[in-house]
Amino acid sequence: MIRLRRLKSGDRIALVAPASSFPPEEVAAGVAELARLGFEAVYDESVFETERFVAGSVETRLNAILKAWQDPSIAALIAMRGGYGSAQLMPFLDPGLLVEGRKALIGYSDITAILWLYQRNGLAAIHGPMIDRRISKGPSAYDEDSFRRVMMSSEPAGDFTPPQLETLNTGSATGVLCGGTLTQLMASMGTMWEFDPPQGCVMFLEDIGERPYRIHRMLTQAAQAGLFTNVAAIVFGEFPGCNEPGGDPAIRDVLRDFMKEFRGPVLFNFPSGHTSGPTWTLPFGVQAEVVGGPSPSVTILEAAVE
């Protein structure tokens, strides 16, 4: 695993838009919050472009990312938002630039596609807050502590157990943490960049606004594709908006029932990605320990940055 460049006070961070467009005022608010954290946010004016349901043409979005990857004064990139569009860029993203620069592209949701590109090329990846309605809203919308522990320290983040974490299956396991938004992972299947988790991994899965049968359908696809065969542990996110209207079935019960034959710990309600409260920053590509039981826990055993 190749560690990413550690962020430090005064670093320049590029705001990029690999996917959907966003309200323009989110940029100024995001710049201000990053300044409070000690960073200088920069962006190309092309970030404001729109084209139907994406933030500009493929060429526009691609050029901004490549420019930031190649600029030695840029320490990391943060996505403006998810939505749709990252998969369009995949054929044109140069893995060599990723490895050479070791710069994080922080995001979740649709950005899952690019996070997997990092991991499949041997780098750590950062499943963390984006600008739109997260960093732009301040610590009420993203967890500052986990962001600092993951991005600004060369020491392992250690105990990463949120108070609302629940156990669906008991047990303990250690493995490489990987995953992302379930919809995006399943959309990658059959492509040159399909999700192929490493043996013995800890898989993190989350989503938003999908009815229980749709989540069940994607999990069934994942199981039939053999994705769970060599997985040591599973950590599910909050899945906001995924209960059936009226509350029955609840997504928690659907996930518990689907995983009842899984031989390893399964946890639920980890607040990363789509969350109802502050979203936590998770480092992918590093070793993590998961314990399921009366006191469930997640421990990050390796640093993602140096």
CA distances from 149 to 54, 167, 199 (A): 32, 25, 27
Strand 287-292, strand 74-79: pairing: unpaired
Residue 247 Cα distances to 164, 211, 251, 264, 287, angstroms: 19, 11, 9, 28, 36
Q: b/e map of 253-282 (b: 16 or more CB within 10 Å)?
A: ebbbebbeebebbbbbbbbbbbbeebbbbb
Rg (CA), the chain: 18
Give strand pairing partners of 305. Answer: 4
Q: Catalytic: 276?
A: no
For residue 274, indicate whether it is catalytic: yes
Which amino acid is it at 132?
D
**How far is the C-alpha of 96 from the C-alpha of 73, rounded, in Å?**
18
Q: Given 21, 86, 109, 146, which residue is catalytic?
A: 109
Q: What angle do CA 238, 247, 222 make, to 5 degrees?
A: 50
The pair of three-digit structure tokens given for residue 25, joined into one six-digit string:
């005022």
Residue 109 annotated to the active site: yes
- The catalytic residue among 33, 206, 238, 289 is 206
Instruction: Catalogue the active-site residues.
Output: 109, 206, 274
